[in-house]
Amino acid sequence: MIISNKEYGYIRVSTREQNEDRQLIALREIDIPEQNIFLDKQSGKDFERPQYRRLVKKLKPDDLLYIKSIDRLGRNYAEILEQWRVLTKEKGIDIVVLDMPILDTRRGKDLMGTFLSDIVLQVLSFVAENERSSIRQRQAEGIAAAKAKGVRFGRPLKPLPENYPSVYRRWKAGAITGTAAAEECGMPLSTFRYRAGLYEKNIP
């Protein structure tokens, strides 16, 4: 086994998850020094990962990086493979994926070992991306189903002004324009029309 110059750990969680404890405990169990553990809390839309960039700059050939699972390296299949290539080929470090012991670049340094490791990596990267896509699809379907049942998302709507029902009826009958109706209710025309649609569905 190659003895690394330094051992590091990397943790990534989204701001929604806030569950770095599981990854942190796993790294502490293998005695990674606290100062060598880098943590990013990034949302799905913001993937700049400042701590990861700091870590990559610190890494030297033969250093050893531990991560809890393969999807900590990227958001999708292509990104995971690219980061794996940068770390192992360009930086010349070893990587250990704690959830998948076969992904330990200290082992199988010969051609066949590298070949098998690359195949496993590609399969797992694809599975990780596919799982995330499935989760997003299920979330989207759940939101659509909830909306169809009348569940509203976002900030609560302001109560309608007391004169809204009478103004709405006059507007609906064509007695006043939408602009005039909106002004009487003290709201923008777009808001008046939006609330009219909800009002017609008996949604306050």
pLDDT digits (tens, 9 = 90+) for 45-92: 556 789 999 999 999 999 999 999 888 888 777 788 888 888 988 898
- CA–CA separation, 42 and 91 (whole Å): 24
**Chain-wide mean pLDDT for the chain?**
80
pTM of the model: 0.56
- CA–CA separation, 81 and 67 (whole Å): 15
Average pLDDT on 91-112 reads: 80
- CA–CA separation, 30 and 68 (whole Å): 12
pLDDT of res. 47: 64
> What is the DSSP code (8-state) at residue 4?
P
pLDDT of res. 79: 83
Q: How many CA atoms lie within 13 A of 118 on its CB side?
A: 11
Residue 28 tokens, joined: 């502490």
Please give the positions annotated as active site.
14
- CA–CA separation, 17 and 120 (whole Å): 27
Average pLDDT on 148-169 reads: 78
pLDDT of 3 strictly over 50: no
